[in-house]
Amino acid sequence: MKLWTKNSDSLKSVTDFTTGQDREMDLYLAPFDVLGSLAHIQMLESINLLTKDELRVLSNELKTIYHSIQAGNFVIEDGVEDVHSQIELLLTQKLGDTGKKIHSGRSRNDQVLVDSKLFLRHEIEQLTHRIKTLFDLLLSKSEAHKNKLLPGYTHLQLAMPSSFGLWFSAYAESLSDDLISLQAAYRVVNKNPLGSGAGYGSSFPLNRKMTTELLGFDDLNYNVVYAQMGRGKTEKIVAQALANVAATLSKLSMDACLFLNQNFGFISFPDELTTGSSIMPHKKNPDVFELIRAKCNGLQALPHDLALLTVNLPSGYHRDFQLLKEKLFPAFKIITDCLELTSLMISSIQVKEHILEDEKYKFLFSVEEVNKLVLSGVPFREAYKKVGKDIEEGKFTYSTTIHHTHEGSIGNLCLNEIASVFQKNISDFRFEQANKAENKLIASS
């Protein structure tokens, strides 16, 4: 069954090629297609394209389909092209001609658009909650290990003293900034394209503001041409937000691989979280972090993949857009898995103490000795030259005592401030508006 079929079928090879992975990808959209339809038919009834009785039976049947989807019992049958066709087929089988009325006033184009936006909105919310889990864990580890010093590096050379408190909370604050780009993506996603039809509107007197409110969107995509132009653009914006989170996890994973190396030996993990070698009995390999690094590096390429799919397209719909789903939709599971495994590893991390008492790290304290001279009245450039000369002549002496007090330093991590900013970033999403609207659509009689 195809919504666009008239009097003849396409050659099977053409149908197979043009359908591609749509059936598999459309299963991601199934519950959201029902939500969009529930809002759409309420609007159709309000403009007298459905009777109250038709609205009632359609709503009840759509809710039955929704609960079937949630229970994992929904399938797109053989010979049915996509999720929209499957749901319309089920309605028609149960309700006859009434089921055939559900598509009035919309195109499959704006149906895919609204389904995709509802899906992306939901996935961004779930992702945000998982980011918060890792954020909270990193801050707790920062507090627990704030007094344990760690070598800091520039150019992978010994630079200055750092601490595990700094290291953990650096990645927490990075996640906080990642939420800002994720929130920007959410704002783009959270606009209603329904009613744009094939990109040029409809002669029906559609009430697009009504469906916007029913679906809990912040606002409309007002211009119907732009609503269609948003396909591809929206996905790229979301992909970039995912890539930012992935970049944070990739860098954290690289640090962990480095710090676990025996030549560093700053951290360790329980045996069950590492892997061994088939011939080297001493090995404890950081396979989890290596795979997180690789998967997240792949996600950082995603915005470019999507850009190249759509870079030379004029306005209007093009079948190229179909391929956006198979690249973007699975990315949410990848980033979610990486967040969950990062949380698992960090929750069990074992931190080595007294690292900087080893004399091989003594030059980490050179800046501390320069600053002591400056505080005693020696001009900075003279103090720098003196300490440098002492190092060259083997006369350098140092103390491992660190006294950093400014905001964001070893002695003043500002964890409460970082947590406060993160919480504000979370609250600015206003997820409750969308959730309340969706719950009302499913629950209403």
Instruction: Assess contact for 197 and 109: CB atoms under 8 A.
Output: yes
CB 325 within 8 A of CB 28: yes
Ordered by where they begin, the domains of the chain are 12-103 (1.10.275.10), 108-357 (1.20.200.10)
In this structure, which amino acid lies at residue 367?
V
The pLDDT score that the predictor gives to residue 21 is: 74
Helix ranges (H only) for 191-301 are 208-214, 224-260, 287-300
Partners of 268 in the β-ladder = 350
Query: The pTM is what?
Result: 0.92
**Residue 4, pLDDT score:** 46
Q: Which amino acid type is present at position 145?
A: H
**Positions of the chain with pLDDT under 50:** 4, 6-7, 445
Quote the pLDDT of residue 372.
Answer: 95
Task: Report the pLDDT value the prediction gives residue 444, as an integer from 0 to 100.
Answer: 60
CA distance 245 to 179: 8
The pLDDT tens digits of the residues spanning 124-169 come to 999 999 999 999 999 999 999 999 999 999 999 999 999 999 999 9
Q: Are 293 and 254 in contact (CB under 8 A)?
A: yes
Nearest-CA neighbor of 121 among 250, 223, 241?
Answer: 241
pLDDT at 259 (0 to 100) = 97
Indicate the Cα dihedral angle 123, 128, 131, 136, nearest 10°: -150
